[in-house]
Chain A
Amino acid sequence: MKLEQSFDKLTEAGLGVVAISYDSVDILRSFADRHGGFRYSMLSDQKSEIIDAFGIRNLNHTQGTFGYGIPFPGTYVVDADGIVQTKFFIQAHNQRHTADTILWKTFGTGGGQRIEAQLPQFKFSAYASQDPVQPGNHFFLVADIELPERMHLYAPGSDYTPIDLRIVANPELHEGALELPEPEILHLDVIDERVPVYLNKVRIQREITLGPRLKTTGIRIEAVLSYQTCDDEICFLPAEFPFSVDLQVTPLDHQRAPKEIRH
């Protein structure tokens, strides 16, 4: 994670920043010096005591191997009392969340440039939870929908076409889970039917993983929003809205500490 670059944003959000690892103070100092110093704290948990207190030691690495004592990598956002607000853990070691997406997910702030469209039945905008992205990043494609009064949109679980946000197949992208808010239940008196719907403002997001070996400097996320809306009088036909979001891709840093102080 390019934490230093995100330090100002995190501070603006009222968050302190700390990175914890089993590295020695020498390794941390060397890493910080090679990168021009960091404003956030890097803590040396050389005996993995903090890692154990959190219960996140990776027990696949046995004593005597250089990975002995490492944690499962992950990030927590906690409030000032230390209560966990959001947490981000990924099993694959070459994938991660970045500060921008963590801030977006925790506080709903930030995100990349919005594309906006006035569709026949509602106002639509979409953006990525971060821009730029890095190879292996987990982030979200976010769609905001603003429905006019008396108009509703179908949620999953109804017999109508429910709202969906799909990523057009691309070998450099992996489509993750779709996250939707809790729907409201609409009672249709005439046919005595109860259907899950969305009203007013709806935000849905699709998790995306960027290829860990991506080499390009940019990526186009092509997506399709599918939906069906009805108002008091008319039920519109199911519809699709294809759109795309262009993101910058910045490379990863692979420089290591000097040999003498490596694990």
Chain B
Amino acid sequence: MIQYAIDETVKIFCKGIGNLLRVVLLFVCALPVLAENVFTDVSRADANMTTGPEVGERIPMFSAIDQHGVRRSFEDIRGPNGAMILFHRSADW
């Protein structure tokens, strides 16, 4: 995320500058592109991943408030064949 924030800042900065400066700063602007392989590089912010219950194991039961302000549990959510449970970083950023 920090690397991403830096990349974005550099990008915004680079978009805003004139052509002369652009040449001078070409190297800086190219850095984020040169520095990473978009497919395989894992930033420090994503290192040491843990992935929780394995296939065949039981998940912990849970309940929480949903977008409508209603408390919902796994039992409320599951269908006849179970459920797809998605964990995401944020709906916001």
Contact = CB atoms under 8 A, between A and B. Distances in A.
Binding partners A and B: yes
Interface in B63-93: 64-69, 72, 74, 76-93
Interface in A66-121: 66-67, 70-87, 89, 91-95, 99, 102
A225 interface: no
Contacts of A76: 52-53, 59, 84-85
B58 to A, nearest CB: 5
Interface residues of B, number: 53
Interface in B23-62: 38-62
A209 B60 CA distance: 31
A67 B1 contact: yes
Chain A facing B: main interface SS: mixed
16 contacts: A20-B86, A22-B90, A23-B92, A31-B91, A43-B62, A50-B64, A58-B49, A58-B89, A59-B48, A72-B49, A77-B83, A84-B59, A87-B52, A89-B49, A92-B42, A93-B43
Contact of B89 (A42, A53, A91, A93): A93
Contact of B81 (A45, A80, A86, A89): A80
A38 B56 contact: no
Contacts of A71: 87-89
A86 B1 CA distance: 28
Contacts of A63: none
A94 B36 CA distance: 13
- Which of A59, A77, A261 gathers the greatest number of chain B CB atoms within 10 Å? A77
Given A32-B67, A53-B60, A174 B87 contact: no
Contacts, number: 232
Contact of B84 (A70, A102, A257): A102
B67 A25 contact: yes
Contacts of A93: 1, 4, 43, 45-46, 89
A84 B74 CA distance: 13
Contacts of B65: 25, 43-44
B67 A28 contact: yes
B91 A43 contact: no
A17 B91 contact: no
Interface residues of A, number: 76
Contacts of A256: 92-93
A16 interface: yes
Interface in B5-21: none
A85 B66 contact: no
Contacts of A58: 45-46, 49, 89
Given A73-B87, A74-B51, A60 B56 contact: no
A11 interface: yes
Given A18-B84, A20-B86, A41-B66, A257 B91 contact: yes
Contacts of A3: 86
Nearest to A97: B86
B38 A94 contact: yes
B9 to A, nearest CB: 16
A209 B37 CA distance: 13
Contacts of B79: 11, 14-16, 80
Contacts of A209: 39
